[in-house]
Amino acid sequence: MHKLLYELKATMAFVERHFNLAKRYLGWEIVDLVYILVNGLTIVLIGVGGGPQQMLYLAAGALLWEFLSVLFHEVSESVSWERWEGTIEYTFMAPIRRATHLFGMCFYAVIYGSIRTIFVLGGMALFFKFDLSQANLFGALVVLFCSSISFIGLGFMAAVLPLMSPEKGSQATHIFQAIVLLVSGVYYEVSVLPAWLQPFSVISPATYTLRAARAALLDGASLADIWPDLRILLLIGILLIPLGLKVFSIGERYAMKTGKLKRNG
Amino acid sequence: MTIALQCDRISKVFYEKDETKATGTPLSYRRLFRRERVPVYAVRETSFTVEKGEIFGILGPNGSGKSTLIRIIATLLYPDEGTVTVFGNDVVKQQLEVRRMINRVSVEAAFFKKLSAIENLNYAARLYGVNTKIARQRSLEILQRLGFKEQKAFVSLENLSRGMQQKVAIARALFTAPVLLLLDEPTTGLDPKSKRDVQDFVKEVQEKHDATIILTTHDMAEAERLCDRVAIIDDGRFVALDTPAGLKRKLQSPQNPAPTMDDVFFALTGKDLADELPDLED
Ligand SMILES: Nc1ncnc2c1ncn2[C@@H]1O[C@H](COP(=O)(O)OP(=O)(O)OP(=O)(O)O)[C@@H](O)[C@H]1O
Ligand SMILES: [Mg+2]
């Protein structure tokens, strides 16, 4: 119990560190927020011809993708970023469990991603005056929570790549993220994808996230209605988190054997 | 006598890409994915024991394996062969236990450069489970002791000189009160006054806090001044291990009745002054 509390407190190291950094890069944070807001608005404007439902459909895609990609990016890039800063050995030498380290990154990513998403949501609501009286907002939040778990698991697995290959690992995580964007039906139905790409959409947790969140937001679907998708998301998450931690620890051991933890090479 | 650190026949090999041996055309599979790798023997079958409360120096030329040895003890690298124990805990099998006992100051200052010293120290305090207020108080005391101006602790570290950053690194390693302290060239890049301050402080930590210290340095006078025993490492192997006085005594001869640590270093590592300054030879 005492040990658990100790580890839980240690996760705050990562949250605090990142908020301190965000403070230093405040100018960039603001630029970034403006950019993602304008980007979101532009995407929703594409759907003006299709009426409010079409616009809401696109808005849901833009918001969810914003949240999920921040989550994935923050977690998966944490290793390559610390290598670049030169703090990686210091962080890895700390007397905490690796899971604590990684969950600390996730806490931060969830808070940070939520702030950004709420900001864009607020901006869109002001701009388009969406009618959300029919929407099941609570249901959409539950979807977001369930999908966070699986994206965190994916993030752990992707974070290992820069650990194993300092030069190419980070590139690989970006490609992975792009493929998820392509196959998950962020801005269109997955049915429009070429047949050979469709199987990928079945294994991407983002597909279920978007489908369930849209059902809740656009059609006011109840939790019972979206339960089949939620169940899949939870299942993927419950499988991916321990798998991600395992993969990461294997990667870490490999890095410590081959001397890849060092900043240069 | 308690044994603080025991290294038993440890070896470490790295594999480096060798571009000169690359064969095939520039875009061939061989060239892109199967680059030749050459082994670099960083540490070879090294054994030694350090007692609790000792300051143990490791001297050696560039690339002789000092930092690699420190990394292995710091649980950052697995040895290929052999075992290392810190107060009886194996660095590979009992990583977490070892990590609670150690801290390291590396040559390059490992900081979040955009953050201030205090913010970096807070991060460290949370990782090591030290109350942030206590950590701040302790580290400011240490920093003051090292001649670091307090107001500099609140500006981002990228604006501080290398020497100042090094002092922050020392404060960060010490406020956690490690029982085994690994100092990898802690005074490299410091001015003579700061160097002296750090050396005095290292002595004080040994005496007052009963800490065990492993220290690497390129400064012979520093090794002589601080270390109870010194190992000379060359090409991954210990070529001598004794007290500074003992090392010098072994080199005594009618031609050189009072050898210095420099003489010892050159004699044992085969790095003659002539090798160091090849331009002057002809
Ligand atoms: N992570 C690594 N990957 C590949 N090779 C490495 C790695 N770390 C060290 N080496 C190689 O191992 C050898 C020993 O390096 P090490 O850093 O231990 O030397 P050192 O004694 O600390 O040198 P210096 O006095 O310059 O700090 C060198 O040839 C170096 O290139
Ligand atoms: Mg070194």
pLDDT at residue B66, as a whole number: 96
Residues contacting A222, CB < 8 A, separation 6+: A136, A139
- Answer yes or no: do B14 and A259 touch at CB < 8 A: yes
C-alpha A190/C-alpha A199 separation (Å) is: 10
- Answer yes or no: do A12 and B78 touch at CB < 8 A: no
Please, are residues A186 and A206 in contact by the beta-carbon 8 Å criterion? yes
- The pLDDT mean for chain A works out to 91
Residue B37 has pLDDT above 90, yes or no: no
C-alpha B104/C-alpha B69 separation (Å) is: 12
Residues contacting B91, CB < 8 A, separation 6+: B72, B73, B75, B79, B84, B85, B98
pLDDT at residue B279, as a whole number: 47
Buried residues in A242-254 as b, exposed as e (16+ CB within 10 A): eebbebbbebbee
Structure tokens at B264: 């010892």
Radius of gyration of chain B (CA): 21
pLDDT at residue B281, as a whole number: 40
Residue B28 has pLDDT above 80, yes or no: no
For residue B33, name the pLDDT band (cuts at 50, 70, 90). Answer: low
- Answer yes or no: do A6 and B71 touch at CB < 8 A: no
Question: How many C-beta atoms lie closer than 10 Å to residue B267's C-beta?
Answer: 18
Q: Which atom of ligand 1 is nearest to the CA of B69?
A: 18
Give me the residue label for tokens 């090094």: B166
For residue B26, name the pLDDT band (cuts at 50, 70, 90). Answer: low
Please, are residues B202 and B171 in contact by the beta-carbon 8 Å criterion? no
- The pLDDT mean for chain B works out to 89
pLDDT at residue B29, as a whole number: 65
Residues contacting A47, CB < 8 A, separation 6+: A54, A55, A57, A58
> Considering the entire predicted model, what is its pTM?
0.90
Residue nearest to atom 24 of ligand 1 (CA): B62
Q: Which residues pair with A142 in a beta bridge?
A: none
pLDDT at residue B282, as a whole number: 40
DSSP label of B59: E
Q: Does B113 touch chain A (CB under 8 A)?
A: yes
First-residue to last-residue Cα distance in chain A: 40
C-alpha A108/C-alpha A85 separation (Å) is: 18
> By 3-state DSSP, what share of chain B in percent is helix, strand and coil, each rounded to 5?
40, 25, 35
* Predicted confidence (pLDDT) per residue in B193-251, tens digit: 989 999 999 999 999 888 999 999 999 999 999 999 999 999 999 999 999 999 999 98
Structure tokens at B126: 């949370």
Q: Which atom of ligand 1 is nearest to the CA of B68?
A: 18
User: SS3 for A1?
Assistant: coil
Please, are residues B214 and B225 in contact by the beta-carbon 8 Å criterion? no
**Cα(A80) to centroid of ligand 1, in Å?**
21
C-alpha A9/C-alpha B42 separation (Å) is: 38
Give the amino acid at B156.
S
Q: Which residues pair with B183 in a beta bridge?
A: B105, B215
Question: How many C-beta atoms lie closer than 10 Å to residue B188's C-beta?
Answer: 17
Closest ligand to C-alpha of residue B219 is: 1
* Predicted confidence (pLDDT) per residue in B256-267, tens digit: 888 999 999 998
C-alpha A173/C-alpha A156 separation (Å) is: 11
Interface A-B: count of C-beta contacts within 8 A: 80
Question: Domain-by-domain residue ranges, chain A?
Answer: 2-258
Give me the residue label for tokens 């949501």: A121
**Cα(B259) to centroid of ligand 2, in Å?**
26
Mean pLDDT, to the nearest integer, of B175-189? Answer: 93
Give me the residue label for tokens 């969140």: A213
Ranges of residues in chain A with a pLDDT under 70 are 263-265
> What phi, psi does B57 have (nearest 5°)?
-95, 145
Give the amino acid at B173.
A
* Predicted confidence (pLDDT) per residue in B61-97, tens digit: 999 999 999 999 999 999 999 999 999 999 999 999 9
* Predicted confidence (pLDDT) per residue in A46-97, tens digit: 999 998 889 999 999 999 999 999 999 998 888 888 988 899 999 999 999 9
C-alpha A166/C-alpha A168 separation (Å) is: 6
- Answer yes or no: do B114 and A21 touch at CB < 8 A: yes
pLDDT at residue A169, as a whole number: 84
The C-alpha of A182 sits at a distance from chain B's nearest C-alpha, in angstroms, of 28
Model ipTM value:
0.89
The C-alpha of B282 sits at a distance from chain A's nearest C-alpha, in angstroms, of 36
Instruction: Work out the angle at residue A62's Cα, subtended by the Cα atoms of residues A189 and A126, and round it to the nearest 5 degrees.
Output: 130
